[in-house]
A and B are shown apart, each in its own frame.
Chain A
Amino acid sequence: MLTKFLGQACTLIETNNKRIIVDPWIVGPCNVNTWYTLRSKAATKKNIPTDVDYIYISHEHQDHFHKETLKEFNKNIPIYICKFKTKRFYNEIIKIGFKNIIELPSWKPEKLTKDIEITSIQNPDLMFEDSALLIKSSEGTVFCQTDCKMDFTSLKKVNAAKPDIGFFMYSVANWYPDVYNYSKEKRNEIAIKRKINKINGFVNYVDVIKPKFAVAYAGGPLFPHKSQLKLNDPIKGVFGCPDEAKSAWDNSKKIGTKVIVMAADDEIKIDGTHIKNNQPILSTNKMDALNELSIEVEEDLNKRWKAEGEASTKLSSKITEYFNRIISDNPIAKKHIDMKVQLIAEGKNGGEFILDISKNKKSGSYVKEGKTDDWNYFMKIPAHLVEKSVDGELLWETLFLSARWKADRKPDQWNEHFINLLYDPEPTRISNIYKIYEKLH
């Protein structure tokens, strides 16, 4: 049994003459032309192992479900996903042409062959869909957390499966605090705290699951676009490097697992033998790698940004129609969101919009053009990206992950209900979530 690491959360597991690839994002950027995998030299199509027997995709974020990479695979290869409550992810895979999609109920093992079994493990979150994967064969057991935030009971069950190798997320990969309007000091304080919390989480995941060998992966990306270079700061940045996770584990003095730092393209045998095929990107060489990558991809990245186009003259009416529809369709979400949003669509054909999602706002238009100081949430987003989101071509979450926007909050609090509405405003989904949520809280 051999596992090849291909960057971010992508692993290729070879066992008993079968090959399973998990979360293949290998070439090109993701998240609106911003994220690259931790490589000093960008991967090419030659790096994509298309001769696989099975594909598993954990969830729909582009660093896991990457259309540019997936288009290189034969569309008859079976794709396995977790059986989520909604069909939204399933339908997205259908749209890119794959014909054989198998949904696995969480924790129900699926035999791929007589001696290869995979088990999908769903995250417990009510609002966001994600999954991890356990792969067992007569040669050994490999666990891939991807970036699934797992419940503790599931961790104990993975521990009981006695994995030989586990791949664990070690870093924040999110827009907080970088897009928010904090002072430099406050921003740095939040970023450092978040990074430490995430690395502590890595240590605890490894300690509970206790594989023989643990690999730190699914961490922060590189942002090589010239306008985003400061996001990569290895000291003050929120995005960590795998050596930091290894140091935290080694310093914890916990025993029973050896943490390994792997570079993209490296391989690991089931007995822990590490075959080094590339230079890992560490906190010590990250900026050198970034500078190299930034020069290499500059022309291509600029072309991609230009190709995104401009917002149309219809943007204003589209924004009004979109938000009026999703707010009026979901009164239960409005009750929980309870805030006013100032949305600035910046650039050609953009505009200023006030979204009134207050629980007391009973009827009439929820959207009006203009500015207010009375906002709870402020968002300034390139107009053409707003248009792609209201048109349903771009998930809001993908846009947010790009960090190509600015935000502010009064009070300075996460509003999961607002993000959940944007995640998928389908009324049945929202209604089902709040039936459970209101019982719990």
Chain B
Amino acid sequence: MKIKIKKDSVPIGELVEISKSPKIIIFNNGKEYFGVSGICPHAKWPLELGTVKGKTLTCGGHGWEFNITNGECITNPGRNLKKYNILEANNEIIISDD
């Protein structure tokens, strides 16, 4: 799977859904882009409703926390998000799962 998007479609500090199936969200912290699966494994809330502080993505439903850089669940170890690879190329980013 490979998805190409324009960098400016992911504003700094926002969680952006870039694919519905599979659901993927991207975060741009101003230096790097991160991509993870976009559904919370706890109660299936869309994670773009969450917030990011530092490396921590917090689900907007019940506060489960994840490391946005690798998808690891902080609240409940083992309940991780899938991490997607990000490749930056000029004004685009390429998201892949290989």
Interface residues in chain A, defined as those with a beta carbon under 8 Å from any beta carbon in chain B: 123-125, 149-153, 194, 197-198, 200-201, 204-205, 413-414, 416, 440-441
Contacts and interface: CB of A to CB of B under 8 A. Distances in A.
30 contacts: A123-B43, A124-B43, A125-B43, A149-B42, A149-B43, A149-B61, A150-B43, A151-B44, A151-B45, A152-B44, A152-B45, A152-B46, A153-B44, A194-B63, A197-B58, A197-B63, A198-B63, A200-B51, A200-B60, A201-B61, A201-B62, A204-B49, A204-B60, A204-B61, A205-B61, A414-B75, A414-B76, A414-B77, A416-B76, A441-B78
Given A194-B63, A197-B58, A204-B45, 11 more contacts: A124-B44, A149-B42, A149-B43, A151-B44, A152-B45, A152-B61, A198-B63, A200-B60, A200-B63, A201-B63, A414-B75
A441 B79 contact: yes
Chief secondary structure at chain A's binding surface: helix
Interface in B43-73: 43-46, 49, 51, 58, 60-63
Contacts of B77: 413-414
A194 B65 CA distance: 11
A149 B62 contact: yes
Interface of B: 41-46, 49, 51, 58, 60-63, 75-79
A205 to B, nearest CB: 8
Contacts of A124: 42-44
A204 B61 CA distance: 7
B43 A151 contact: yes
B60 A201 contact: yes
Contacts of A194: 63
A440 B79 CA distance: 9
A151 B44 CA distance: 6
A416 B49 CA distance: 25
Contacts of B46: 152
Residue among B46, B51, B58, B62 facing the most chain A CB atoms (10 A cut-off): B62
A440 B43 CA distance: 13
Contacts of B49: 204
Residue among A123, A201, A205, A414 facing the most chain B CB atoms (10 A cut-off): A201
Contacts of B76: 414, 416
A198 B62 CA distance: 7
B5 to A, nearest CB: 24
A93 B41 CA distance: 32
A297 B45 CA distance: 42
Nearest to B56: A193
Nearest to B63: A197
Chain A to chain B: the 8 pairs with minimum beta-carbon distance, closest first: A197-B63, A151-B43, A204-B60, A152-B45, A151-B44, A149-B62, A152-B44, A124-B43
Contacts of B63: 194, 197-198, 200-201
